[in-house]
Amino acid sequence: MIELNHVKKSYGSTKALQGVSLTLETGKIIGIAGENGSGKSTLLKSIAGVGKIDSGSIRIDGTAVSRKHAEEIAYLPDADMFYSYFTVEQLFSYYRSQFADFNELKAKEVLDFLEVSPSSKMKNLSKGMRGRAKMAATLGRESRYYLMDEPFSGLDPMVRADLVKGLIRFTDLERQTLILSTHEIREVETLLDELVLLKNGKVLAHRHLDEIRDETGMDMVEWMTKETKAGARG
């Protein structure tokens, strides 16, 4: 379980997170949504322990989050932070050297499923193919928590569909939790159990998707639009 209590984080005068409190349960696929600048990336970095918060607390399975949690959390950033001269196979070797939980056989299985050659150099791959390689490396870790920041950003619909299938196939929700931020809600709506909606660094809503559909009759994009507008008025 991941618990956030009144978490605040600022970059200069910009308030990225303004007193965020959340409880994210194990064994779920949870979406983090919101407009640009709503705090999605900062929230994921903070949970992953790669971004220090100003105040409040974040606990993972009862322990205060720190950089040591990188051993338990597979974090996929939005930015390309991989060595461009690596082949995909060399990227996997690097992951194996850094993370004790990296399962190279699983990573190669994901890579084969997503149809990427292990001999390809990262710099020669299209953005979509790099996205597939990055996801294979991330899912190759046998972590309890996967955090993915905009894993579908800038990718065409066919690539996004393949990545969603990969997430379903290679995540074991009996023991793992997947938290992802995305603008591509329509592609992942059927994948998600819960949705956290952010605006200006605050939580507008945290709901189960089944509850939203049953109570409102809306799809996720309609509901998000309504809630965001209501939040702006409030």
Q: What is the pLDDT of residues 200-224, one digit of tens each?
A: 999 999 999 888 888 888 878 888 8
Number of structural domains the chain divides into: 1
- CATH code, 101: 3.40.50.300
> Within 13 Å and on the Cβ side, how many CA atoms surround 38?
20
Task: Mark residue 208 as left, alpha or beta (left: phi above 0; alpha: psi -120 to 50; beta: remaining).
Answer: beta
Domain that holds residue 214: 2-233
Q: What is the pLDDT of residues 40-61, one digit of tens each?
A: 999 999 999 888 899 999 999 8
Identify the sign of the CA torsion 94, 95, 98, 100: negative
Contact 47, 5 (CB under 8 A): no
The contacts of residue 67 (CB under 8 Å, 6+ apart) are 49, 50
Let me know the angle formed at the C-alpha of 146 by 193 and 55, rounded to the nearest 5 degrees.
Answer: 95
Q: What is the pLDDT of residues 106-150, one digit of tens each?
A: 999 999 998 899 999 999 998 888 888 988 999 999 999 999 998
